[in-house]
């Protein structure tokens, strides 16, 4: 059973702080990793993806990947109340001519004004 684990939260941070969201995965064959943001009652929207070890930055967001530890994280700098949402980690791998994305349960982030 391939699994993606996230702390469900809520994770509360003050406005302007750095929010750190973590995700672990069970399958060493996983090839790429995605972070989605989901507002209540809305569908997931892509924030960023990463597939090489190390850091990848996009504006206030940084994704970090450590394949040896099977760990991926998302840092949100200068957190804003509008960042309050559920953050979903998704892991993708290919097998036998097909591929699939497995999602974690999500971490609920609350940014306090």
Q: Which residues bind other proteins (CB under 8 A)?
A: 4, 6, 8, 31-32, 34, 42-46, 49, 51, 88, 90, 92-94, 97-106
3-class DSSP assignment, residue 61: strand
Q: Which of 1, 54, 2 is nearest to 62 (CA)?
A: 54
User: In the bound complex, what is the minimum distance in angstroms from residue 15's beta carbon to other proteins?
Assistant: 25
Rounded to an integer, what is the distance from CA 46 to the centroid of its chain?
10
Nearer to other proteins, 104 or 111 (CB): 104
CB of 16 to other proteins, least distance (A): 28
Considering beta carbons, is residue 22 or 92 the nearer one to other proteins? 92
Six token digits for residue 39? 């507002």
């Amino acid at each position: 059973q391939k699994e993606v684990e996230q702390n469900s939260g809520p994770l509360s941070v003050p406005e302007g702080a750095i929010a750190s969201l973590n995700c672990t995965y069970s399958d060493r064959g996983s090839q790429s990793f995605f972070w989605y943001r989901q507002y209540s009652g809305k569908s997931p929207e892509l924030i960023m993806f990463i597939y090489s070890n190390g850091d990848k930055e996009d504006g206030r967001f940084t994704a970090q990947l450590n394949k040896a530890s099977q760990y991926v994280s998302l840092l949100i700098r200068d957190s804003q109340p509008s960042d309050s949402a559920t953050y979903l980690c998704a892991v993708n791998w290919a097998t036998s001519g097909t591929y699939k994305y497995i999602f974690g349960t999500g971490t609920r982030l609350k940014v306090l004004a």
